[in-house]
Amino acid sequence: MFKKILIANRGEIACRVAATARRMAIRTVAVYSDADAHANHVRACDESVYLGGSAPKDSYLRWEKIIAAARATGAEAIHPGYGFLSENEDFARACAEAGLVFIGPPAEAILAMGLKAESKRLMEQAGVPLVPGYHGADQDPALLQREADRIGYPALIKASAGGGGKGMRIVERSEDFAAALASCQREAINSFGSDAVLIEKYVQRPRHIEIQVFGDTQGNCVYLFERDCSVQRRHQKVLEEAPAPGMTEAMRRQMGEAAVNAARAVNYVGAGTVEFIVEQTGGYDAPEAMKFYFMEMNTRLQVEHPVTEAITGLDLVEWQLRVAAGEPLPLKQEQLQIHGHAIEARICAENPDNNFLPATGTLHVYRKPAQHTAFQRGRVRVDDGVREGGEISPFYDSMIAKLIVHGATRAEALARLDAALAQVHIVGVATNVQFLRGVLATESFSQAKLDTALIERERAVLFDREPLGLPLAVAAAVTQQILGEWPGTQGGPATGFARRDGWRALGTYTRPFEFEFRGEPVSAQLSYRHDGGLHLALGDTAGPLAIGRFPDGRIEVEFDGGRHTLDVYRLQSVAHVFGAQGATRITAVDRLAHAGDTQAEGGRLTAPMPGKVVSFAVQPGDKVAKGQALAVMEAMKMEHTIAAPADGTVEELLFAPGDQVTEGAELLRLAA
């Protein structure tokens, strides 16, 4: 076994690999960029080496510096994690040439499976079912459109070297094909360095089911069952679970054997995932009528590997290390078993109500479920690479953490996941935590009516949700403020004239509060009664307000017929309220501070987050209509289109394609 390895990655996966290595008494070397100088993965390893600038091209993609770091520190092997260089055959080959073990498959297997068109041809030869499509080398746009017309619409354009939902477009009509192709190729060449694409039939009502495979250097290969990854947004996974709901034993065996055949076709070694699109020809309740087609093979460890670990009781990183060291697979196929059900939720810095726009900022509050541990069934597990006070930067993926739960049944796991998500408190950046809880509560997910359109199908109940409501939000904000004014008390104010809470010896004092809630102004009045009671009124809702504070900082609010235990965090003028049923935010308004703030934004169009200007679709003098695409930005590995908020005329472009811009930077001016 290795004595020391270098982990050529960052964030939660680097911390994850380091944890297993530490348990196996293997020393670890971290690498880091400017942005990650004080990151958790650096602390998790025994030593670390600086690579360069914050952008991946200046640090984590510089494989020559990574190899030099491994040799300088005496590392015997390199674990690439996922993303970055994990599926780069040149890097795998360079490791071997440098006398280092690449903890992953051979370079030839990465190359064969990395090009989607080539992998489709190999799978056809291996007898693995394929989706009808075009996988040829001729990339003439006219030919590609003819092939899409032949296959029929909706059709799917996919970057041949792609993955992770990037370089992928669904085309509904022939007349939209050319624009979608150009956009897909642009994103593909930015992400993967190649604009080659393939065209496939877009399967209706599809499920995304993948098989975990493992091979060793002795020629053994097994499958560690399946994961359902159907719940996706923007072609990227949101929730993953194992085993797949509704999977029959016969289909599990067929898909597993097909995945092993796919791996054997390229002499695969190590951890890999064979991804299938599953067509539900008989509807959600007819699993026996499902058909599966090979989609792609990921030649690395997957983000969602913890759910497989949970149901098998195995440490897949340990398997990777043992196989890379030349050991045989620890178990044979007949020894592998499924125990219970596991679900993983990806907690991301993003705004679901704004088309999942990624967010950046400081994690002023980052609280995790009280009980969590790794590699143990029946418990809650958190994989992350961040800490409270850390930064979510624009340079890397928006994922903050992975929350994994295991239960005896799917229903038990689902309930456990919702309870765990309720204990995740994040303040400082927008997140998808409440959105995830909403998905769990939908009929589609709770009843396992799964397909990749689930989020769109449930849009009416998933977006623009308010789980707590105005009365409780106001009561929480008022309570948090007045308890902060009462020194050192748990149940109420001090006695008599030493109190600073508005108490009067005679009569009642009414105190006004002004808030903004969901974009609307809210006025409330808090009355301090002579008997010591509080009375809160806002609009048509009014009544006694009973409050208290627990030693752990939580507050208790009784108002409008309900009693609630809440966590409230104040960040500047915003109160972030977390309760069992969800979370919300409400802003305290200082009328004096805003009295002179009357300047309108006018025709300014600004960057929604830090990133790079990819292109402008207009020139000065052009007349545009509301909703028309004006510019494309790239940030956090995704493209974002800036659209016209109203009809108007372009006055000036303030940047050029390729320019880096900060959040809020004015990109162009639009005159009415």
Alpha carbon distance 597, 612 (integer Å): 31
- Nearest residue to 4 via CA among 65, 67, 73: 73
Cis peptide before 306 (omega within 30 of 0): no
Half-sphere exposure of 27 (CA within 13 A, CB side): 11
DSSP 256: H
Q: Tell me the DSSP string of 292-341.
A: EEEEEEE-S--TTHHHHHHHHT--HHHHHHHHHTTPPPSS-GGG----SE
- Nearest residue to 216 via CA among 119, 321, 89, 300: 321
- Sign of the alpha-carbon dihedral angle for 37, 41, 47, 50: negative
Neighbours of 629 (CB within 10 A): 16
- If phi over 0 gives left and psi between -120 and 50 gives alpha, with beta otherwise, what is residue 390? beta
Regarding beta strands 77-79 and 4-7, do their DSSP bridges make them parallel or antiparallel, or are they unpaired?
parallel
Tokens representing 299 are 């030649």
Angle between helices 141-151 and 177-192 in degrees, nearest 10: 120
Contact 534, 544 (CB under 8 A): yes
Contact 230, 246 (CB under 8 A): no
Alpha carbon distance 230, 453 (integer Å): 8
Alpha carbon distance 406, 341 (integer Å): 6
Contact 44, 15 (CB under 8 A): yes
Exposure b/e, 528-551, CB count within 10 A at least 16 = b: beeeeebbbbbeebbeebbbbbee
Taking the C-alpha atoms of 221, 227, 229 and 231 in order, what is their torsion angle to the nearest 10 degrees? 180
Measure CA of the first residue to CA of the last residue in the chain; give whole Å: 69
| β-pair partners for 534 | 528, 545
- What is the amino acid identity at position 138? D
227 is a catalytic site residue: no
Alpha carbon distance 135, 535 (integer Å): 70
Catalytic residue among 10, 252, 300, 437: 300
- What is the amino acid identity at position 180? A
**Active site residue ranges:** 300
